[in-house]
Amino acid sequence: MCIYACMLFFFIKEEQYNEGKSHMAAPFIVISLFFSFVIQFISQSFSEQVKHSSLVIGLRRSPAPKISPFMAKKQSEPLNMMEPLREVRDGYLISLTLGTPPQVIQAYLDTGSDLTWVPWGNVSFDCIDCDQYYRAHRLTGAFSPLYSSSSARVPCISSFCTEIHSSDNFYDPCTMAGCSLRALLMGTCSRPCPSFAYTYGEGGVAVGILTKDTLRIHGTSSNIIKEIPKFRFGCVGSTHREPIGIAGFGRGLLSLPSQLGFIEMGFSYCFLPFKFASNPNISSPLIIGDLAISSSQDSFQFTPLQRNPTYPNYYYIFLEAINVENSSTNEAPMNLREFDAKGNGGMVIDSGTTYTHLPDPLYSELLFELESVITYPRAIDQERETGFGLCYEIPCLNDTCNDDDDLLPSITFLFSSNSSLILPKEKHFYAIGVPSNSCVVKCLLYQRMDDGDSGPAAVFGSFQQQNVEVVYDFQQERIGFKPMDCASAAASYGLNKI
């Protein structure tokens, strides 16, 4: 859901947030003629110093992340963070503890975007075209900055404001905020960052304001709490198709690992299977810092993290081929094995996208190979209903039909640098209904990548990452994979109460 990220300027009323905080003046719309004059004057006067770009459409281009002040003060200490991830129907939630006194809000863990945002509790959070399931269950809570003594607006001169508005200089957002030309030239504008609209794939949009407040995180023990002051995040009042807040784990300046200083180290996770969804007694482990890297040397298959200068905030890897049942190998097209001159191509690993997306002809070839080795009856009606490419009626080997994965072929991803990942068999086909007549219908949970000339050519989704420990090693610029029983991993970190 978070592959095609771009930022657009947008205005919303902010009187409710500013009420009771008189030092925060609400931004106003500058007359278009004066606005044009200011931009033209600044561009001409400072063309030697800045590159003016007020709007970037498409995937965002961002400067290299900086080490946070928190990290700079703690370089001599081993830093580790361990947070439990709660599984829901289509993703994994991390609990964010924000403000003074603390407020706990759950948000999707998303390695495919940078901004962390939470529903805004001061206004009526409105989600347009959202799943009724989330409307009914109200899973995540909301954040009320007026009830936090440590909350403040991010100023328009902040690099974080410049980043969220996809600009190359602070003149753009500060002009939008209504700063005078004199204040712009002197760098003294104290107005808050203007409202933003952050967009995601498939039409998702989040509209809100940029806020800073204290974030509390756990160390490797639940009894160790660390406070991170001035953490920047979005307070969002309305969204389109985004019912739950998002914790951005990309490589950009705004991302949670970047702000905490962990972007120079790394993190790891082990996603539990769907069968544990909404189970309060077990959680997937998320490890951030030295511990995630130091424990990742044994039995892992590592592939290089590919740096994409056009889209530097995404985690790219190259897919060389796909093997079915250790016999038939389908070579990946060139756009999965290299970037073109414009930075398009490659595979993005994205925890915010549920199913793996592959481009044609590789997707069609995979379906053809699976059809050639699977002899069970096709479930054509279920294919039409679900939109999945292959569904089969699989015989049950026991009363619960939970041991029939061995009846289906294995799939192996072959990555660059001779690394490979034999995906767990239960991560290909999944039961979409209850057993009937000693059979269960299972569908292939891969999808065809939408045709497009820009951005990544494929996405490695979270479903295919279940029961695999995934390590993002930024020190050696690589990603590692190791098949694992993630329930056992959760138990080793004290996250399994079953």
Phi and psi torsions of 275, nearest 5°: -65, -15
How much is the pLDDT for 342?
94
Number of helical (H) and strand (E) elements in the chain, helices listed first: 12, 28
The DSSP secondary-structure symbol of 406 reads G
CATH topology of domain 6-264: Cathepsin D, subunit A; domain 1 (2.40.70)
CATH topology of domain 284-492: Cathepsin D, subunit A; domain 1 (2.40.70)
Identify residue 220 by its one-letter amino acid code. T
Which tokens hold the place of 239?
């969204």
How many other C-beta atoms can be found within 10 angstroms of the C-beta atom of residue 33?
A: 8
* 422 Cα distance to chain centroid: 24
How much is the pLDDT for 261?
86
Cα→Cα distances 403→41, 72, 408, Å: 70, 51, 11
How much is the pLDDT for 222?
59
How many other C-beta atoms can be found within 10 angstroms of the C-beta atom of residue 3?
A: 22
**One fold for both 6-264 and 284-492?**
yes
Residues facing residue 433 across a β-bridge: none
Residues facing residue 117 across a β-bridge: 234, 246
The DSSP secondary-structure symbol of 5 reads -
Q: How far apart are CA 210 and CA 191, in angstroms?
A: 12
Q: What is the dihedral of CA 47, 454, 65, 51, to 10 degrees?
A: 0
pTM, 2 dp:
0.82
Q: How far apart are CA 270 and CA 150, in angstroms?
A: 34
Phi and psi torsions of 89, nearest 5°: -60, -40
Residues facing residue 297 across a β-bridge: none
How much is the pLDDT for 66?
40
Prior bond of 101 cis (ω within 30°) = yes
Q: How far apart are CA 255 and CA 107, in angstroms?
A: 13
Splitting the chain (498 residues) into consecutive groups of 10 residues, what average pLDDT does each group show?
40 39 37 38 35 28 37 49 88 95 95 96 81 60 93 95 88 92 89 95 91 90 79 95 93 94 89 86 92 77 96 96 89 96 96 94 95 94 93 83 76 96 87 86 93 87 95 95 93 81
How much is the pLDDT for 397?
76
How much is the pLDDT for 388?
93
Domain boundaries, the chain: 6-264, 284-492
Do the beta carbons of residue 232 and residue 215 sit within 8 Å?
no
Q: How far apart are CA 321 and CA 366, in angstroms?
A: 10
